[in-house]
Amino acid sequence: MTNENGKGTATDFDVVVVGAGFAGLVMLYRLRQIGVTARAYETGNGVGGTWFWNRYPGARCDVESMEYSYQFSPELQQEWNWTERYSAQPEILRYINHVADRFDLRRDIQLSTRVTTATYDEGNALWTVETDRGDRVTARFLVMATGCLSAANTPNFPGRDSFAGRSLHTGAWPQEGVDFTGKRVGIIGTGSSGIQSIPVIADECAHLTVFQRTPNFSVPAGNRPLTVAERDRVKAVYPEFRAANSLTPFGVNFDSTGISALAVSDDARVNEYEERWEKGGLRFLGAFVDLMFDRDANATAAEFVRDKIRSIVKDPEVAAMLTPKDVIGCKRLCSDTGYFEAFNRPNVKLVDVAADPIVEITKDGLRTQTRAFEFDTLVYATGFDAMTGALTRIDIRGKGGAKLADAWSAGPRTYLGVATVGFPNLFLVTGPGSPSVLSNMVPSVEQHAQWISSCIRDLRDRGTRSIEAQPDAQDSWVGHVNEVAGTTLYPQCNSWYLGSNVPGKPRVFMPYLGYATYVEKCNEVAANGYEGFTLG
Ligand code: N01
């Protein structure tokens, strides 16, 4: 038991952290540095979060390995050797496990434990946290390191449980792996997870039917082994490399040309796209500075990719079905290894379920309005209740017993994506309203862990028991997030950024675009004595 600040109510821990993925681990590390006690609860039976659960075939990061890693320890940064330009899931999971061991973080983590409720006691300024394992602990602060893409979305098709074969979700893949040899497989969904797994599953199984509701833009990943020279080049200037990336809008090196797509000749523009297509990766969107702001600029990139799809896919009807109509990058751009090529295989069939919707899951497979399909295995690559799902699925009660899910029923409202009115001493790591999914997630979780731990240290040093976002500050931040989103093309299609992949979810653009501006704002708020927060 601890008794913080030498005064106040005794608590089991100073801080409870929910989740032990990239965010939870660095949070624990930072909390230990400031000398407070913490316990992290993690649902999985291992650490790793996203990279623990998403073990589907072909799972790979779309941010380059040298950037998608922690920077809190210069030694770790120098010691670890990434083997590929874009790391595959097993390598990232090995890295996260290495970090947990190297910094002795496991002693503060309780695995295989799901937090079920968290209730704030206003009089004593403390949280009581309960788990599905019967734990009931108190803490001054609660930090939700629950991940932005961790609450699986499995559409509630009629008959969903009647399927006699095996049902899988890409975001909750079995640890022992899945053998598709000789199997007839159906897969629903063509987002990043579907696009990565389809070519690999197609290669293994007897037959694959892909159920596509919306065609998606994807660029070749251009993955390849990293050479020692490439690694050493970055390692020699790691701090400068990180600092330069942190000044960009996405906090990631997109190698932007800094010019408008409409300011160059048609030939020059196509050459730029061609070069980036050849090199591979999401830097494709760095080709021109206005691709996510100007429809005409965006149309030039979209048409380039449409042409590529038509040139790769041999059957013109299939190519037409795979060709997206909307804005490129509006749904998160995918990067793939042989996705469009997979549709040239004789064992892959594409079904357009926008034209012929799925009406039910059956014992043998599924039925669309006009046809029946049979398989042995059905894969849901149907994504996540993004950004809010992992939070609202826990019964979190703030002041006066108010439920977070109710407070956010019209969409999430936060101050800086790190706190929300009515829920004192609750911190969100990369919550809605922060750059989160529109940035490189690892630096973003590190920035939040650093900010939150400094805040807890400052409160302790001043003998302050509670911190809560002020309604005005929250309103103006939410307004600002929306205003920025409104200057971009992001709100112009249906994406999980807007919650529109989950039936009934309010349509609100959730992430904040502008990593560098955001970091500056967070630092300013702290420097001004936590401006916009009430300290009690
Ligand atoms: O999920 P998604 P995801 N009937 O929501 C379809 C990150 N990530 O797991 O577009 C039929 O993108 C849905 O159709 P539609 C990355 O940030 C990164 O693939 O809504 N179909 C869509 O095709 C990514 O953006 C990496 O019409 C239904 C698909 O399911 C995010 O995670 C790899 C349906 C869901 O796509 C989520 O990606 C993987 C229904 N009822 C993931 N409901 C990398 O780093 C949904 N769909 C590379």
Q: Kindly state if the Cβ of 440 falls inside 6 Å of ligand 1.
A: no
Average pLDDT value for the chain: 96
pLDDT at 8: 53
Q: What would the mean pLDDT of 496-518 be, rounded to a whole number? A: 96
pLDDT confidence band for 249 (50 / 70 / 90): confident
Query: What is the β-pairing status of strands 395-397 and 218-220?
Result: unpaired
Q: Kindly state if the Cβ of 24 falls inside 6 Å of ligand 1.
A: no
Q: What would the mean pLDDT of 233-238 be, rounded to a whole number? A: 98
Rounded CA separation 415/464 (Å): 20
Query: Which residues neighbour 314 within 8 Å (Cβ) at sequence distance 6 or greater?
Result: 344
Phi-psi region at 210: left, alpha or beta (left = phi > 0; alpha = psi -120 to 50):
beta
What does the block give as tokens for 186? 């159906």
Which atom of ligand 1 is the closest one to the Cα of 188?
21
Q: What would the mean pLDDT of 268-273 be, rounded to a whole number? A: 98
Q: Tally the C-alpha atoms within 13 A of residue 88's C-alpha that lie toward its C-beta.
A: 13
Rounded CA separation 532/472 (Å): 8
Q: How many CB atoms lie within 10 A of CB 387?
A: 30
Q: What would the mean pLDDT of 245-266 be, rounded to a whole number? A: 94
Q: What does each C-alpha distance from 498 to 198, 253, 444, 474 come to in angstroms?
A: 25, 25, 20, 19
What single letter denotes the amino acid at residue 266? Answer: D
pLDDT at 9: 67
pLDDT at 1: 35
Q: What does each C-alpha distance from 345 to 56, 198, 201, 351 come to in angstroms?
A: 21, 11, 12, 15
**Ligand 1, atom 18: nearest CA belongs to which residue?**
192
Q: Kindly state if the Cβ of 297 falls inside 6 Å of ligand 1.
A: no
pLDDT digits (tens, 9 = 90+) for 440-491: 999 999 999 999 999 999 999 999 999 999 999 999 999 999 999 999 999 9
Q: Kindly state if the Cβ of 366 falls inside 6 Å of ligand 1.
A: no
Which atom of ligand 1 is the closest one to the Cα of 192?
19
What does the block give as tokens for 249? 């809008």
Question: Do 186 and 366 meet the contact criterion of CB atoms below 8 Å apart?
Answer: yes
What b-and-e string marks burial along 108-146, b requiring 16 or more CB atoms within 10 Å of the CB? bbeeebebeebbbeeebbbbbbbbeeebebbbbbbbbbb
pLDDT digits (tens, 9 = 90+) for 150-181: 999 999 999 999 999 999 999 999 999 999 99
Edge-to-edge strand order for the sheet containing 365-368? 358-361, 365-368, 372-374
Q: Give φ, ψ of 397 to 5 degrees.
A: -120, 125
C-alpha radius of gyration, the chain, whole number: 23
